[in-house]
Amino acid sequence: MDLNPSADDVAFRDEVRSFVREKLPADISEAMLRQKKLSREQTVRWHKILYARGWGAPSWPVEYGGTGWTATQRLVFDDECAMAGAPRLIPFGHNMVAPVIMKFGNQWQKERFLPKILAMDEWWCQGYSEPGSGSDLASLKMTAVRGHDDQGDHYVVNGQKTWNTLGHFADWIFCLVRTSREAKQQEGISFLLIDMKSPGVTVRPIINMHDVHHVNEIFFDNVRVPAENLVGEENHGWTYAKYLLGHERSGFAQIGFHRRDLQRTKDIAKREMLNGKPLYDDPRFKAKIAQLEIKLQALEIMGLKLIWDQEQGALPGPEASIVKIFSTDLVQAIGELAMEAAGPYAQPYQPEAQYLDYAGEFAGPAYAAGLAATHFDNHKYTIFAGSNEIQRNIISKMILGL
């Protein structure tokens, strides 16, 4: 047993670190580190910088223009990017729909879609959840009816998707749609790629509890989708959906982001005062930080173990659910402690101060402005990508055999 990184991994970390230090634009890292809003343009710009370096798709095999990195290298890359204040790559294209197209798509689909995902020329979003289908995803109702007209084979899509992340920035959406009601519900689902500019697609914002527009409802009203946009076989979409969820789950540890946020919490505590001394020197507060740092240490080893198992050939399995529960509980605890560190200055809220170009006065220390918003936003982590209760169901069924 050896938990230390290899010499190659250390060299790789240095390579990533110096690249990110040199190329990550200051306006982007500042927005991330100071908890400001990131624009579509900023996200795309960073992705294109990575693309120019050949790092546009860290998780892809080389044959599709990916890096061919090992799981450990991907972890190191994520870690270094997060610590430096780089945004997380939008996962819906390169980490979610792309693996499905690679494995189940046809040649035309691979050539049409993958290069544009790699170069971030097209922004993707996800159409899974519906108002009546959250944890019980397979009960989804949005219909796609196959037809034929003078323009060829096509589907007509009707229904509604919800909790769609950043769809207002997206060019394309991948959707689970119902194409049959005859067999059991999992066997009547298909996987469809839909152009967001299609007539009949309407995006309506959902405003989060901290006043941010991050997610949407999307309405589909007689949307015509060419049949060539069906991935794999009709009514086999559930298989592809589960394959995609496996990929989504492999990236749950997010060590770099946790480490960045914990460091922010320490830095705030060093600047806040308690009884004339830095809050950081208060033994009780310091112990709270230590408890979280220790949990983060445990998470790092758990995440490395998951990655290592994958490198030995294991598929992302139910063990990822354990990491998801542990990691999302931790991110919430770190965010909450950062907010607690700010004391009364967690309270003032200036919506305009969420933008990096805000030139006005802050009602309190600038570092306090985004803390409450982040804390409230963090509630989503234990809900999305399979709520933590669903993860416990997976653990009890797949691992414990209950």
Partner 1 sequence: MDFRLTEEQTMLADSLRRYFAKSYTMPLRRAAMSERRGFSAAHWQAFAEMGVLALNVPEAHGGLATGAGNPLDTMVVMKEIGRALAVEPYLMTAVVCANAIALSGNAAQQASLLPGIADGSLIVALAALEHGGRYDLNHVATTAEKSGDGYRLSGRKAVVVHGAQADKLIVSARVNGAVADASGIALFVVDRGASGVRVLDAGTVDGLRAAEITLDAVTSEALLAGGDRGSTVLQHTVDLAGAALCAEAFGIVEALTETTNEYLKTRKQFGVPIGKFQALQHRVADMLVCVEQVRAMSSFAAVKALQDDAAARRKAIAASRTAIADASRFVSKNAVQLHGGMGVTDELIVSHYVKRLTMLNQTYGDYEHHLAQYVELMSA
Active site residues: 248
Measured CA to CA, the distance from residue 381 to residue 334 in angstroms comes to 13
Phi-psi region of 226 (alpha: psi -120 to 50; beta: other; left: phi over 0): beta
Q: Is 14 in the site for partner 1 (CB under 8 A)?
A: no
Q: Is 287 in the site for partner 1 (CB under 8 A)?
A: yes
Please enumerate, as own/partner, the contacts of 272-278 that have beta carbons within 8 Å and a separation of 24 or more: 272/341, 272/342, 272/343
Positive or negative, the CA dihedral 105, 110, 113, 114 is positive
Stretch that binds partner 1, among 25-33, 187-195, 213-221, 288-296 (CB under 8 A): 288-296
Q: Is 301 in the site for partner 1 (CB under 8 A)?
A: yes
Q: Is 135 in the site for partner 1 (CB under 8 A)?
A: no
Of the candidate residues 294, 314, 363, 366, the single one contacting partner 1 (CB under 8 A): 294
Of the candidate residues 276, 283, 313, 344, the single one contacting partner 1 (CB under 8 A): 283
Q: Is 282 in the site for partner 1 (CB under 8 A)?
A: no
Please enumerate, as own/partner, the contacts of 286-295 that have beta carbons within 8 Å and a separation of 24 or more: 288/337, 289/262, 289/265, 289/337, 292/262, 292/265, 292/330, 292/333, 292/334, 292/337, 293/262, 295/326, 295/330, 295/333
CA-based radius of gyration for the chain: 22
Positive or negative, the CA dihedral 291, 297, 301, 302 is positive
Of the candidate residues 199, 344, 360, 401, the single one contacting partner 1 (CB under 8 A): 401
Q: Mask: binding to partner 1, 225-264, rule CB under 8 A, as x and -? A: ----------------------------------------
Count the site residues for partner 1 by CB under 8 A.
42
Specify the residue, 145 or 290, whose C-beta has the smaller distance to partner 1.
Answer: 290
Pull the structure tokens for residue 329: 């509980």
Least distance in Å: CB of 238 to partner 1? 23
Least distance in Å: CB of 394 to partner 1? 9
Q: Is 144 in the site for partner 1 (CB under 8 A)?
A: no
Q: Is 53 in the site for partner 1 (CB under 8 A)?
A: no
Q: Mask: binding to partner 1, 302-331, rule CB under 8 A, as x and -? A: x-xx--xx---------x--x--xx-----
Closest to 244 (Cα-Cα) out of 64, 94, 97: 97
Contact between 56 and 118 (Cβ < 8 Å): yes
Amino acid at 339: M
Specify the residue, 72 or 160, whose C-beta has the smaller distance to partner 1.
Answer: 72
Binding site for partner 1 (CB under 8 A): 1-6, 9, 72, 266, 270, 280, 283, 286-287, 289-291, 293-295, 297-298, 301-302, 304-305, 308-309, 319, 322, 325-326, 389, 391-393, 395-396, 399-402
